[in-house]
Amino acid sequence: MMTDIRYGIRQLIKHPGFTLVAVLTLALGIGANTAIFSVVNAVLLKPLPFPASEELVAIGGIDLTETASPPKLGSMCYPDFFDFRDQSRSFTSMAAYRYLNLALVDEQEAQSFRGIKVSGEFFDVLGIKPIMGRGFERADEQPGGGPGGFKVVLSYGFWQAHFDRAPEIIGRVLMLNGRPHTVVGVMPEGFQYPIQTDSIEMYITHAEDASTPDGSTPYTQQRGSHSLLGIGRLKPGVSLAQANAELRAIAGALEKKYPETNTKWSAGLQPLRDELVGDVRTALYVLFGAVICLLLIANANVANLMLARASVRGKEIALRSALGASRIRIIRQLLTESVLLAGLGGALGLLIAKWGTDALIAAVPQNIPRVSTIQMDGVVLGFTLLLSLVTGIVFGLVPAWQASHVDLNTALKSGVRGAGGTEGKHRVRNALVMTEVALALILLICASLLIQSFARLGRVDTGMRTDHLFTASIGLPNAAYPKPENIITFFDQLVPRLRAIPGVESVTTTWPLPLSGSNNISSFDIEENPAPEGQQPDSPHRIVGPDYFKTMGIPVREGRGFEPTDQFKSLPVVIVNEQFARKFFPGQKNIVGKHIKPSWGVGDEKALMRTIVGVVGNVKHRTLNMEDTPEVYLSSSQIPMDSMTIVARTSISNPTAITSAVRKELAAVDRNIPLVRVRIFDEYLARALARPRFNAMLLSIFAGTALLLTAIGIYGVMAYSVSQRTSEIGIRIALGAGKTSIFRLVVGQAMAIVAISLVIGVSGAFAATRLLNSLLFGVGASDPFTFAAIVLLVSVVAFLAAWLPARRATRVDPIVALRAE
């Protein structure tokens, strides 16, 4: 074996041009595969960083009116969660959580930190214990936080950054959202749940939701107010199907018991990792498939180089055979050279992969989970090593096999030229080129569809003006603002102050902000067409302030927007969008004055019959690719919310320039309220486009590279064919064949190969594009224009690649060619 390796190294050094081209081609394919695999490994393959993570499941509500398959898990309400937790027998433990911003107030300023409210068994479900103190218990969920009052567990990063890892942190009291919370624990370094881009700094229990200062119904008792996400740990031996069936049975019983809130709602679960990954899985597998195609094209190119080189080495191989070398011995020698090439390509590919991985991390959208775990670890290095070995065998096996079947007499008589130019070798080379062209065609069609999809998504009419908008969020602590009147007074004081800031044209408030990822759905009744109990239709609803439609640039089609006269105790009003009017009041030209009753938690005194005072244009509130849906707008003066987003339309190029002025005016109203998530609205729009842009960009790079390699492959095969047929071409010219005839001969041979490849490639593309359906918008997976355009593009590139060898063939001197023969 060492003899084979030493000889192989000498051969590679002896032919540096061949070695350089082959190594660079392989490095490109191996490096791209390694970089994408590092992302696939981190996001899809790595186990979650929790003990026995395969037992962890995500639990959520399911809207039975949705037709998605499999059904998408949504949020659930506190009472439903309590019933699932108490009645199920498939879990060792179950917990629920919801996001919130926590305002930490000290002597200097109010700061906002990302946190979550959790149930008592939260850390037990995940199987992670604090490194200091303790986690939560079920007693900590009680109103007031149980014995010892409200409690908080800190993340390691927060403890390190704000308290310098002080060991005496346990027992310290922090003022969070206007209430004292005692620190009872610190989580280990690196622990985070939910696994997302934004760090979770603090964990509190939902004890705050278990009571209200004004004596109204606590949030933990409001069945139908969905905001919780659930997690559970399955008991050993319990399957997903068994646990799912049990949850559905409990949900079915709740539907019968509480038809006014639970009709059309069920529950379900799925592996926690699947829930975290979501629809990213399809996109990553598509990209991984693309780089595998790229590697196959690179392999085909190098295999063709090896075939050409084996032909040149025909006499050498014949001499080795004549001197007693067996066929297996020759194959082993040639495969050793191939593996050496692949090893060099793999080593260089690792450098390309390191650069590519860093570039991917910088370019990857923030809403892709587990991005922080992407790295070149042992698994990735092992993948690269295995890939290099397999690559060396794949591209080296056919040339080695062909070369080992040399005819000794023919090879020794013919010398170098023609020693390997058998018809069989030509067929193999042509087959390799066909493979390249077909794979490149598939990649180009897929990339073109994604590019068109991204372009059309970017041109979607959002229904609003997204430019020059400043946005920031505010959360009012329940302790300081316990009553609706307190919340209304706060915003009545703040909004005029913000409106007076230089450069601000108008100001409003909203919950939730369009394209922020949040959505709230509630059922409603129509006065003139009431539905049976439990069968009311539902639609998303928005809580917005005066001037909302003006500030967001949403046209008012009928009636009016909300006005300052729409007060807490005045006539209950509502505004709907055009889709709502079309769906629920078909054929009626003017629905202003009609009445509907949106629900906002059953039993809530705000669930009143409301007068429609306006109809506004449709808006892409949740995602850009969703169809227009019926939507309801409610006045923040009539249904005040303690968490709102401020939106200011400005006349300046950089809306965030008013941030300091906004903070100053906010502090003038209440210095204990922090301003969080300060952004221009265009950032939300860019985030909505980030993943389609990322997919289209990467696949386009791979497809472009594949096309370049394919063009090189066609050129190489045709150039080699011309060199092998020099004497034939010389004879044709000597017998009177013109340059045009010779040109057609060479180009015709190339285009015949390409034509067969295109048929194969189009068939493959029809199958491959089915996988893209969920990633496309505004263009079909079998779009005929795209297929035709890419076929034409590949044909033109193939013609150009064959043109140079064909041109060289027309310049063959018949006398020189025949004399050389």
pLDDT along the chain (821 residues), means of 10: 73 80 89 92 88 95 77 89 96 94 79 92 96 95 90 96 92 91 95 80 92 78 87 96 96 91 89 85 89 90 79 62 66 80 90 90 81 86 89 76 59 48 69 92 95 92 95 89 91 96 96 84 78 74 94 96 90 94 91 86 58 96 87 93 94 95 95 91 90 91 91 84 77 80 88 93 93 89 95 94 87 66 55
| R_g over Cα of the chain | 34
Q: With left for phi above 0 and alpha for psi between -120 and 50, is residue 190 left, alpha or beta? A: left
Residues 213 and 304 in one domain: no
Q: Pairing relation of β-strands 504-511 and 110-118?
A: unpaired
Q: How many residues does the chain have?
A: 821
Final residue in a domain of this structure, among 609, 640, 671: 671
* Domain stops at, among 613, 646, 671: 671
Query: Comparing C-alpha atoms, which of 724, 711, 741 is closest to residue 802?
Result: 711
Cα separation, 233 vs 95, whole angstroms: 9
As for how many domains the chain has, the answer is 3
pLDDT value for 319: 65
pLDDT (0 to 100) of residue 323 = 59
Residues 255 and 325 in one domain: no
- Looking at the fold, whether 633 and 532 belong to one and the same domain comes out as yes
- Range list of H helices, 572-680: 578-584, 659-669
Decide if 782 is inside a domain. Answer: no
* 490 and 616 assigned to the same domain: yes
Whether residue 320 sits in one domain with residue 284:
yes
Statement to judge: residues 628 and 539 lie in one domain:
yes
SS3 108: coil
Pairing relationship of beta strands 610-616 and 573-577 according to DSSP bridges: parallel
Q: Is residue 787 part of a domain?
A: no
pTM equals 0.84
What is the residue whose two structure tokens read 């390699």? 709
What range defines the domain where residue 175 resides?
66-263
Question: What's the CA gap between 703 and 58, in Å, rounded?
Answer: 37
Cis peptide before 512 (omega within 30 of 0): yes
Pairing mode, if any, of strands 179-186 and 173-176?
antiparallel
Residue 81 counted as domain residue: yes
Handedness of CA 518, 570, 472, 503 (dihedral sign): positive
**Tens of pLDDT, residues 513-566:** 998 877 777 778 888 777 776 677 778 889 999 999 999 999 999 999 999 889
DSSP 73: P
Q: Residue for token digits 């169809």?
A: 627
Residues 496 and 590 both lie in one domain: yes
Helix (H, G, I), strand (E, B) or coil at 30: helix
pLDDT digits (tens, 9 = 90+) for 99-127: 888 889 876 678 889 999 999 999 999 99
CB 141 within 8 A of CB 134: no
788 in a structural domain: no
511-514 contact pairs (CB < 8 A, 24+): 511/542, 511/543, 511/544, 511/636, 511/641, 511/643, 511/644, 511/645, 512/542, 512/645, 513/471, 513/473, 513/645, 513/647, 513/681, 513/684, 514/462, 514/464, 514/552, 514/619, 514/620, 514/621, 514/684
- Is 781 within the bounds of a domain? no
Q: Is 811 helix (H, G, I), strand (E, B) or coil?
A: coil
Do 36 and 131 lie in one domain? The reply is: no
Q: How many of the other CB atoms lie within 10 Å of CB of 143? A: 13
Cα 332 from Cα 218, distance rounded (Å): 77
Judge if 23 and 71 occupy the same domain: no
With a CB cutoff of 8 Å and minimum separation 6, the contacts of 548 are: 508, 509, 510, 554, 561, 562, 633, 647
Q: Is the distance from CB of 162 to CB of 176 less than 8 angstroms?
A: no
Residues 35 and 133 both lie in one domain: no
First to last CA, the chain: 39
- The angle formed by the CA atoms of residues 674, 675 and 681, to the nearest 5 degrees, is 165
Q: Residue 318: what pLDDT?
A: 61
Query: Does residue 150 sit in the same domain as residue 205?
Result: yes
Q: Is residue 778 part of a domain?
A: no
Pair (559, 415) in one structural domain:
no
Beta bridge partners of 504: 650
Could you tell me the maximum CA-CA distance found in the chain, to the nearest angstrom? 108
CA distance linking residue 85 with residue 91, whole number of Å: 9
In a domain, 272, yes or no: no
Q: What pLDDT is attached to residue 420?
A: 45
Q: Is the preceding omega at residue 70 within 30 degrees of 0, hence cis? A: yes
The confidence score (pLDDT) of residue 210 equals: 87
